[in-house]
Amino acid sequence: MTIKPTGNRAIVIGGSLGGLFVGIMLRSIGWDVDIYERSERNLDSRGGGIVLQPDVIEAFQIAGISTQALGVVAHERYYLNSDGSIAQSMPMRQMLTSWNLLYGSMRRHFPSEHYHYGKYLTDVQQNGEQVTAIFADGTRDAADLLIGADGPNSTVRQHVLPRERYRYAGYVAYRGLVNENELSSDAKALFTERFVFYQFPNSHILQYVIPGDRESLVPGERRFNWVWYVNYDKTTELPSILTDKQGKHRDYSIPPGMLAPAVEQEMRSYANTVLAPPFQKLVAATQEPFVQAILDMGVPQMTFGRVALVGDAAFIPRPHTAASTAKAAANASSLADTLVKYNHNVIEALPAWEPSQLAYGRQLMASGQLMGDRSQFRYGKSREA
Ligand SMILES: Cc1cc2nc3c(=O)[nH]c(=O)nc-3n(C[C@H](O)[C@H](O)[C@H](O)COP(=O)(O)OP(=O)(O)OC[C@H]3O[C@@H](n4cnc5c(N)ncnc54)[C@H](O)[C@@H]3O)c2cc1C
């Protein structure tokens, strides 16, 4: 694919999925792009499962990234009874992938000399002609466009919309990964290549198979990925869930291997009390469960002169939509399309891009809240209904 350089340049803050989608899409229309990520190294090892949506595949195709081996197919859905028997089954083909596979695919495609680690953005300045990023190490960079793809605690958003912040939705997602060969054969037979749910009052847990270590799709080398939604009070319970094993309080998630032992133990005993037996086995076989608070956030505005917000920096839909990653891809693809339509004029293109992206973010937020509230709060806010 030959790409005609346009002479335009973008700075992307945040080198996770949202930043990489913008990077690959703007490069596909002839822009020079530099991604600045605060982490000192590749962001791997934390990733769990992601439902692969058409927007992601389309972005990969446009960028010239192979879509031949992007995930594991689930052929049907099962809903379980409390004794583990199958209450309902329905054919439904879905492709499931992992955060690591999407990140790795884009990271390998994006030129290393333009992906900068250890760069923490502290300030943004703009005039009519350019926008400048200022980093904690004292360096700066100026470009035609700056994209804030810096996630839920976005520094770019704090700069342009200082009053906007996410809110805790009232429940968390415990999550875990189990290697295919580390699960008992009966649970393995039930879960393999299926999307399986167990719903009970004020909670539900689900699982699907995703690529394994080093993105392997080989049967036997993949992983079972589970997500369990549990209600916790914001003031009396959440703070201890979000305090890691070293006693450090974290904003909204605790990564694998860092849950406080008491929190992990309580989660495991609770699983043995309330989950259907196959899910009890899945949780028991998990070596390093992790947790993420479920958040709600939506900005009233996504563009500010030469600055735009994308991905989780702008909207955090609840995970029931299975659409956060797809939304980040859609933000990036439509930005590239709009820049082309407006002959790469940033000042004209951004206001034209914004309305559809705001509408999409709002629609995902609303449907995620509806699904989540229906599952978690039908019988009040408590955990045990
Ligand atoms: C390590 C990791 C693992 C994840 N695993 C999953 C998963 O398993 N399943 C799933 O559905 N979603 C996962 N997510 C979330 C998923 O990536 C997002 O929901 C979605 O893809 C959109 O994310 P984003 O790129 O907008 O924001 P994020 O993924 O939150 O990325 C924001 C990036 O910005 C960087 N950053 C923040 N502030 C600054 C700053 N001031 N200067 C420079 N850089 C900054 C952060 O280090 C981070 O890399 C994960 C995110 C991370 C970071």
What pLDDT band is residue 43 in, cutting at 50, 70 and 90? confident
Do 107 and 84 lie in one domain? The reply is no
Residue 50 counted as domain residue? no
At 364, give phi and psi (nearest 5°): -65, -40
User: Same domain, yes or no, for 283 and 204?
Assistant: yes
Residue whose CA is at the smallest distance from ligand 1 atom 11: 50
- Mean pLDDT of the region 101-121: 97
Angstrom CA distances, 360 to 185, 326, 331, 353, stand at 42, 11, 9, 12
Distance 311 CA to ligand 1 centre (A): 9
Q: Among positive and negative, which fits the CA dihedral 146, 150, 151, 157?
A: negative
Residue 262, pLDDT score: 98
Index of the ligand 1 atom closest to the CA of residue 322: 11
**pLDDT tens for each residue of 231-283:** 999 999 999 999 999 999 999 999 999 999 999 999 999 999 999 999 999 99
Least-confidence region, from 38-42, 43-47, 102-106: 43-47
For residue 45, pLDDT beyond 90: no
Domain for residue 376, yes or no?
no
13 lines ligand 1 (CB under 6 A): yes
Q: Is 307 in the pocket of ligand 1 (CB under 6 A)?
A: no
Tokens of 90: 């329905």
Is the pLDDT reported for residue 49 higher than 90? yes
Q: 226 with 189, same domain?
A: yes
pLDDT per residue as tens digits for the range 69-94: 999 999 999 999 999 999 999 999 99
* Same domain (yes/no): 267, 360: no
**Could you tell me if residue 235 is inside a domain?**
yes
> What is the percentage of the chain residues whose pLDDT exceeds 70?
98
pLDDT at residue 319 greater than cutoff 80: yes
CB 145 within 8 A of CB 8: yes
> Looking at the domain assignment, is residue 82 inside a domain?
yes
Total domains, the chain: 2
Which whole number is the average pLDDT over 163-181? Answer: 97
Structural domain contains residue 64: no
**Above 70 in pLDDT, residue 385?**
no
Structural domain boundaries, residue 82:
72-98+167-295
Rg (CA), the chain: 21
pLDDT value at 158 more than 70: yes
Residues 182, 207, single domain; the answer is yes
275 torsion bin: left (phi>0), alpha (psi -120 to 50), beta (else): beta
Using alpha carbons, list the distances in angstroms from residue 249 to 238, 240, 253, 254, 370: 10, 8, 9, 9, 29
Q: Are residues 147 and 19 in the same domain?
A: yes
DSSP structural state of residue 49: E
Higher pLDDT, 5 or 134: 134
Pull the structure tokens for residue 242.
């979000």
Q: Is residue 242 a contact partner of residue 293, using CB atoms and an 8 Å limit?
A: yes
Q: Has residue 384 got a pLDDT over 90?
A: no
From ligand 1's centre to the CA of 105, what distance in Å? Answer: 15
Find out whether the beta carbon of 95 lies less than 6 Å from any atom of ligand 1: no
Q: Kind and range of the H or E element at 95?
A: strand 86-98
Span of 1-15, 151-165, 173-187 with lowest mean pLDDT: 1-15
Give the pair of three-digit tokens for residue 354: 């914004």
Last residue of a domain, one of 274, 295, 316: 295
Are 201 and 112 within one domain?
no
Q: Which two tokens stand for residue 253?
A: 């998630």
Q: Does residue 213 belong to any structural domain of this protein? A: yes
**pLDDT for the residue numbered 19:** 98
Q: Which ligand 1 atom sits nearest the alpha carbon of residue 150?
A: 34
Distance from residue 151's CA to the centre of ligand 1 (Å) = 5
Please indicate whether residue 149, judged by its CB atom, sits closer than 6 Å to ligand 1: yes
Judge contact between 318 and 368, C-beta under 8 A: yes
- Per the prediction, the chain carries an average pLDDT of 96
State which of 295, 324, 341 marks the end of a domain.
Answer: 295
Cβ of 206 below 6 Å from ligand 1: no
Q: In whole angstroms, give the CA distance from residue 197 to residue 219.
A: 22
Judged against a pLDDT cut of 70, whether residue 46 lies above it is answered with no
**Is the shortest distance between the CB of 53 and ligand 1 below 6 Å?**
no
